[in-house]
Amino acid sequence: MNLPQRLLAPAPGWIVDTDVVVVGSGVAGLTTALRIAGAGLPGSVPTGLRVMVVTKDVLAAGSTRWAQGGIAAALGPDDTPQEHLRDTLVAGVGLCDRAAVQVLVDEGPAAVRELVELGTRFDRSSTGELSLTREGGHHRDRIAHAGGDATGAEIERALVSAVLASPGIEVIEHALVLDLLPTASGGVGAVTLHVMGEGELDGVGAVRAKAVVLATGGIGQVYASTTNPPVSTGDGVAAALRAGAVVRDLEFVQFHPTVLWLGDSASGQQPLVSEAVRGEGAFLVDDAGVRFMQGQHELADLAPRDVVAKAILRRMRETGTQHVWLDAREFGTEKWRVRFPTILTTLLSVGIDPVSQLIPVAPACHYASGGIATDLAGRTTVQGLYACGEAACTGVHGANRLASNSLLEGLVFGRRIASDILASIQPGAPLPELGVDVRGMGIASSGIRQQLQQQMSADVGVLRDAAGLARASSVLQKLSARLSRDPRTESWEATNLLTVASALVAAAARRQETRGAHWREDFGERDDERWLGHLDLRLSRDGMVATDYIPGDQSGSPTVAEVAHR
């Protein structure tokens, strides 16, 4: 499949220089920026490095603000990092990088406490301790939350406030990342942007930097129905592919099991009904009122997300229905008002009173466990390029992300990227010399977006097989021939969606097994003999997606003792 290879149509009209450019303003990007600048925390000292944060919308408009459930860390008196590690490895179904998970759980508690120092107002008990709850796949109460079910919004508020107060951080809003420009030595030395603003930085331009950090969030808009905001068009992952970086395990797209069902014609961003609702005692039932998760898993309604999503899909097929029901009527009015005010407001706005009515839910695209491959310092396979947050594949999530590990991953690995950059870049050091990229130009037509999303939902969603994946590949091939000469934001986003969707389909077609969030109906069992490893994706110079199988070292496989712990 020959994909469009160059987004940048006109030459940059402006160029600005900085030391580090961070693309994305969620928890991962803002944490990285604050750490590099030496800002935000009490007693922090400016490092002298100039940091520029580039964000597609306004500073607080990313996916972080939509996180309802909370952030997971071993903060309770009866919990330990090793127990958090065991739960994460089991959820990842053998493909977690154990070293990455160890970093996450060991450094996680300090990272959350740092958020508190930054001013994040987590919910607390009557004794003043952090109020912790439980979500799917966790065997301990270790989910810290804020505003009941507005954790992401509160974390984003605290981080944005700290960034805006930092004199060492500049911000460019309404800026879509187009491409990464190479250095003369083959690394990355600049980001090209389309700024939809006013004044000096309006239009297409470039930011030159000694290091580029991609924290652009997820790829959820690849699907017709998703919990992701409209900005989640895979821009960072697509740009990294075009720059020659390896993208890993993109087939593992997590579908959240309990997304509010608004009718079979609903599309775009859908309201999430947090897993924490089940953590507080709600349960799933079918049309007949049967609690079908009983006997499916030892944790029943709090099983890992892939287990619950598959059970819901099976029950929907068996009963011929388009959704199942979530029963939280026993909560009562006060618990709904205090613990889940955001969800309650959403439900009431569509005419559902959860105090007296069942909530219709069905799985929808939620989170990409794969992404731009990185090491433990957040470095990608391209010199000068880092990635963190949902755009990255650190190895933490494996084949299926454990609930509420995503915010923690952004915090922990954002801090690690900052440490690596601070150790390798000196203030005042010269910028790298830019090289020349001779790839051809091409931008997809903005008109392909809806058809692409519908095809991906139909054939590359929760249920996959060879015939459906072949159909999807054929449709994407035809869509790739529909090019545009109009360099609008919609066309650039369509190109990114096409690039990411093509890579996802290639990986899903190659992995002939069912594991975690990847469900092949024609290969219904997990196959450790052939597939206990990773699929690395590259975009060749001629626009073809190449997949390489990298055998795993079983570092992410739970030990006998860990399995027994279940």
> Which residues belong to the active site?
305
Q: Which amino acid is at 143?
A: I
Cβ pair 507, 393 in contact under 8 A? no
Q: 377, exposed or middle or buried, with CB in 10 Å at 0-12, 13-18, 19+?
A: middle
Across 126-219, the runs of DSSP E, i.e. the strands, are: 132-133, 143-144, 169-172, 175-182, 188-195, 203-208, 211-214
Q: What is the longest distance spanned by two Cα atoms in the chain?
A: 69
Residue 99: alpha-carbon gap to chain centroid: 20
Cβ count within 10 A of residue 522: 12
Cβ count within 10 A of residue 113: 14
Residues in the chain, total? 566
Pairing of strands 253-260, 359-368: antiparallel
Residue 414: alpha-carbon gap to chain centroid: 14
Which of 553, 550, 544, 551 is CA-nearest to residue 2?
544
Q: What residues have CB less than 8 Å from 493, skipping those under 6 apart?
A: 176, 221, 233, 235, 446, 449
Q: What residues have CB less than 8 Å from 473, skipping those under 6 apart?
A: 1, 502, 505, 506, 509
Residue keyed to tokens 């079979």? 264
Cβ pair 266, 224 in contact under 8 A? no
Q: How far apart are CA 105 and CA 108, in angstroms?
A: 5
Q: How far apart are CA 393 and CA 94, in angstroms?
A: 15
